[in-house]
Each structure stands twice: as structure tokens, then as C-alpha cells.
Chains A and B, each alone.
Chain A
Amino acid sequence: MAADPLKIVYIGKNTGNPYFDSITGGFEDACKSLGCEFEFVAPATAEATSQIPFIEAQIQRGVNVIGIAPNSPDALNQVLADAKAKGILVLTVNGDITGNEQYRDATILPVNFDIVGRDQVEMVGSLIGYEGEIAILSATTEAPDQNKWIVGMNETLKSDPKYAKMSLVATVYGDDQPEKSTTEMEALLSNFPNLKGVIAPTTVGIAAAAQVVQSRGIADKVAVTGLGLPSEMRDFVKDGTVKAFQLWSPYNEGWLAVHFAKGVIEGTIKNEVGSTFEVPNLGTITINANNSINTQAELTTFNAENIDQFDF
């Protein structure tokens, strides 16, 4: 087994997306320590089909593991099935093909996505004193993860009496484009003059929302939070535009993916729901329903005190 090093490839959504630099870092370091070969590839643009030739090429190259952040929940089904048929371990990392889980072996997600909605509501609640109008600025209307979190937020708001005085007035979509997200944010502020808080659970959205609030100078009136990259949000946190936001460690996703893949291929880890394994630095990891694996239990919260400790 040890003769041939394990060949692992990670296919990002597109090149130039800073989020993936961090994941790739995790992959690289884990591969170095475990003695695997690693490559990162990604298409130039993030449309649904642009990853297909890359997957085909990796099958042809004879890699052992394909990690992928899928650009589409279903357009990749056929080619992923081919990969699986060739005996390649297919992992979706940092995003899943919801509804088509049979086309991958497991998914590696940073946290249990069921709790993201709840945590985000708590975060915004704590910033606005659990009272007033809030809105959501999401990515695209059909992004599965986003929608899962939005459902979570709605349920939390409805079911938990703690948030009874908060009302969700609008959910809008900025398509993960800065221009579009900005206009949507501006429209929110125009349409809802009493808005107290905005949750933007997407890196582009939270930066755009923060920028609107910053240039209008209304950071005291409207609290912006959500999920963002520390590298992009650092300035906003430092100048007080954003008090706090959350995310997880993308680095750990890569780190975990490599350890899991090597374990499964070498037979030390059973890819079954309920089984557990040890990963250095992360502790004991459990395989949850749908072969879903999380790197951490809770979201990390970033604020002025701790933001300089993170370099991604």
C-alpha cells in the first residue's frame, strides 16, 4: 500500500476565490504530514458545468481521491458516477450535492449546517438587544446551504420565545455579486427604515452590507453580521462597522478531508453512519447521517478582540 502515494485532488468552485486558499492550505499540510500527493485545480468561472472537464481529467489521471466544492447540486451527477465507478473516493468538501447524495461517498462540512441558522439568529439578537426588525441578505435563491440556514433562522425566530420581539421583514438575494448585493442592501434600508439588523450568511454579501453601512455611517443603527472571511472583514471590525460575525475554519475542512480519505482507503476508517475516528488537532470525529462529517461543533465568532489571530 505504501508504495504508491495516495493521489488527492481538490476541485474548487473557481480560481481566484480566496475562501479556497484556506481549504487548500489544510489539504496541503495534511498531505505533507501523511505523505500523499496533492493538487488543487479549478475552472476559471463558477458556472454549473465548468467543473466537468476537470473531473474527467482527474479520472483520466488516475487519482485516488476527488474532493470537490460542487458548483451545482445535480449537473455533476453523471461524471461523479463515472468517478465512483472507477473506484475513486468522491468527497464533497464545503458544500454538498443535496438530494443527490448517492453520487458522492461522503461530505465534509465545517459545522453541522442545522445549527447555523440558530447561531446566526442568536448573534444578531445579541447585537440588537433581541428587539426590532431584521432582514437576511443571502447569495442566490437556489443555493442549498443558504436555504437550509434560512429555514433554520425562520424556525428559530418562530419557536424560541427569546426572539419573540424580533421580526424578520425580508429575505433578499445578492447573487454573490458585490454590485447586486450592494443594491439589495440599499433597497433594504430604503424599504425598511426601522431595520435594526442584517444577517448576510455569505462572504460577498456581508462585505457588501458592511460597506453600505460604513459609507452611510449608520453602524450604530443597523447591525450587520453573518458569515464572512476574517481577511475580508478585518477592516470593518476594526473601525466598528461590524461588531461580530461568524465562520468556521476552512483550513480544518481540508485537514480533515485528507485524514478521512486516507483512513477510508487504507481501511482504518469505516465510512458508515455512526462510526468514529480520531484526527490530530481535531479530536474525535463522528460520521453523521447521510455520511456527513463536520470539523467543529460550533461556529467560531470573530470580533475586535480575536480577529487578528486568524490569517485567512
Chain B
Amino acid sequence: MSTLDTTPSTPVTPRWQTLLIRPETMTFLLLVVGIFAGSQLSPFFLDINYILKSFTLYSELAIVALILTMVIIAGEIDLSPAANMALSACLFAWAQASGIPMPVAIGIGLAAGLLMGLLNAWMVISLQLPSIIVTIGTLTLYRGLAQVIAGDKSIRVPEWFIGVDKIMILGIPLPVVLFIVLALVLAVILGGTIFGRQIYQIGTNETAARYAGIRSARIKFSLFLLIGFVASVAGIMTASRLGSVRYDLALGGELQMVLMAMLGGTYIFGGRGTILGTFLAAWLLVVVSTGMIVANVLPAVQLVVLGGLLIVAIIATNLIYSRTQR
């Protein structure tokens, strides 16, 4: 066959260049800068044990942010997982405090998480409502229900159940280990399995994905279920770390989760992003937050920095992606 196509293809950009303008590179550089700045701000900052310990405080959110990354890549968003964490944790704690055996109580918490994911999935996929508004509604509802259940009091968990963050594996707290392991697993799933591949394809072009025989509704449904479930796991982990549960557990965590995903270069309109990016961004966020806290920086400045980072991150990712798009 003759090739008569006269339209020249664009020459491929060299690999080092594509690597340099990846958003993950930006995240990594920011992380380096953050560590440097932290060590300049306070002499107490640069201590690996302290950073690890600080990370445990954010590890539950970071774990959920990994799944959220997949949800965003698939072209949706979920703002409710932090509220989900609170409600599942409250249900779990309330169940075990009212005498239900621990395994059953944990089961109740996890089932509640799944159910909350199911409600989101049903409204977004079956009713085809925009996920962003739906999850703002469910975020209010879930946290509200947590408040109904727990009131203003905290519910204690038994002494033996406390301290998931005190379990060390090779000197690393268990929640951090879980985060790292989950990140590895999800990175493999997202980058190496057909399930992950199809998540990118749905997020890039859902119509084309359907035409290619990809069951996008099913995949999105499972992602919402997954994030609901993982949020409940994270909620119960938080309960173990704190030793008690209140309705305001992980309050405002949705901002942190979205921030981790966005800072890691996940594209808000779907189709792009990596687990590596979110992994780095989680550390970046911890470094920035703890750096400022240990330097006794006014918490107000932290709010400004976090809000500003979110906006800068989406502007930067948008620019990077629009450059590589054509």
C-alpha cells in the first residue's frame, strides 16, 4: 500500500522535555522547596520521625485522596468522603459503645461507608446529576447525620483499639505504611491494569469510551462505591488514632483531599493525573502544613497558603495540559 498522506505528523517532543513539563515534576520541585523552606523556618522541622508522625495526622485523608484521584481522572468528583469518614466512624463507635461486638461494629461502619458511596453513585450515575452538586448535598447530609447520632459528645472506643498510629513497621507508623502500600497498589492498578486504563479513557472521552465497548457507568459506579468504602476505613482508622469519635472528625477534610489531588497534577476536567502525583502532593501538603505549624506561623497564613496553592495548582496544571494538548 502506498502512503500518500501528505500531512506531516508533529515531531515528537523529546522524552526529557515531556518529563520536565509533567505536573508531577512541579509537585516534586515544590516538595523540595517546601522541605528547604521548612528547615529554614524552624530548626525543629527537619526530623524524619517528626515528619512521619505529622504525616500520620493526614494519612487517613491522604489514603482517601488516592481514590479521589481516580474518581477525578474518571471525570467526576466526590466532596463527601470527609463527611463519610465522620458518619461511618460515628456509627462504628456508637455501635460498639452500645454493646455490639467489635467485628460487627466495624462491619456496620464499613457498610455505612459503602451505602454512602452507593447513594452518591446512584444520584450521579443513575439520575445523571452533576457529581459536584450532589456531593455538596451529601457532604452536608452525612455530617449532619453524624451530628444527629453523636450529638456534641465524643464516643470512646475501647482502650485496646486505640493506637493504630503507634504500631510501627520498620520504624514507620502503620497508617503511613498503609498509605504507601495503597499508593503502590493503586499506581499498579491505575497504570497497569485494564481497569485503570479504562478510567483514563472514560475521563478523556466518555462517548468514545462507550463506543469502544467500555462500560463507563459500571466503572464509575464502582469508583464511587470504592471511595465510600475507603472513606469508612479511613474513618475507623481515625477513630483508632484519636481514641474517640465526634461528629466533627475530619471536618473540612474535603478541601485537603481535593488539594492533594490537584497539587499532584490531577486534571479537574478528567483524563489526566497519576497516583504518583497525589502521593507526592500529600507529602508536600504535610511538609507545608507542619512546617508552618512548627514555626508557629499564624494559622491564618496557613489558610491563605492552602487556598492559594489550590488555585495556583489548577492554573498550573491547566496550563501544562493545554500546552501539551496541541
Contact = CB atoms under 8 A, between A and B. Distances in A.
Direct contact of A and B (CB under 8 A): yes
Interface of A: 15, 39, 41-45, 47-49, 52-54, 56-57, 60-62, 72-75, 77-78, 140-143, 173, 175
Which 9 pairs between the two chains have the least Cβ-Cβ distance? A142-B153, A47-B248, A140-B152, A44-B299, A57-B294, A74-B244, A142-B152, A57-B293, A48-B246
Contact-residue size bin, chain B (C-beta under 8 Å from the other chain): 35 or more
Contacts of B241: 78
Given A48-B248, A53-B54, 18 more contacts: A39-B296, A48-B242, A48-B244, A53-B290, A56-B50, A56-B53, A57-B293, A57-B294, A60-B294, A72-B244, A73-B154, A74-B244, A77-B244, A78-B165, A140-B152, A141-B152, A142-B151, A175-B152
A141 B44 CA distance: 40
A213 B81 CA distance: 42
Contacts of A61: 42, 44, 294
Contacts of A41: 293, 296, 299
A45 B251 contact: yes
Interface in B149-196: 151-154, 156, 162-163, 165-166
30 contacts: A15-B299, A15-B300, A41-B293, A42-B299, A43-B299, A45-B252, A48-B248, A52-B242, A53-B54, A53-B290, A54-B293, A56-B50, A56-B53, A56-B57, A60-B44, A60-B47, A60-B50, A72-B154, A72-B244, A74-B243, A74-B244, A75-B242, A75-B246, A78-B163, A78-B165, A140-B152, A141-B151, A141-B152, A142-B152, A173-B152
B256 interface: no
Nearest to B240: A78
A53 B285 CA distance: 13
Contacts of B298: 15
A49 B42 contact: no
A184 to B, nearest CB: 14
B296 A53 contact: no
Nearest to B251: A47
Given A75-B242, A75-B246, A78-B241, A53 B293 contact: yes
A49 B242 contact: yes
B33 interface: no
Contact of A53 (B152, B153, B162, B289): B289
For the complex, would chain A's binding face be called helix, strand, loop or mixed by DSSP majority?
A: loop
Interface string B297-309: 0111011000000
B249 interface: yes
Contacts of B165: 78
Interface in B50-68: 50, 53-54, 57
Nearest to A61: B44
Contacts of A57: 44, 54, 290, 293-294, 296
Nearest to A50: B251
Interface in B280-296: 289-290, 293-294, 296
Contacts of B294: 57, 60-61
Contacts of B242: 48-49, 52, 75, 78
Contacts of B244: 48, 72, 74-75, 77
A44 B44 contact: no
A39 B294 CA distance: 12
Interface string B222-262: 00000000000000000001111010111110000000000
B113 to A, nearest CB: 19
A52 B162 CA distance: 16
A214 to B, nearest CB: 28
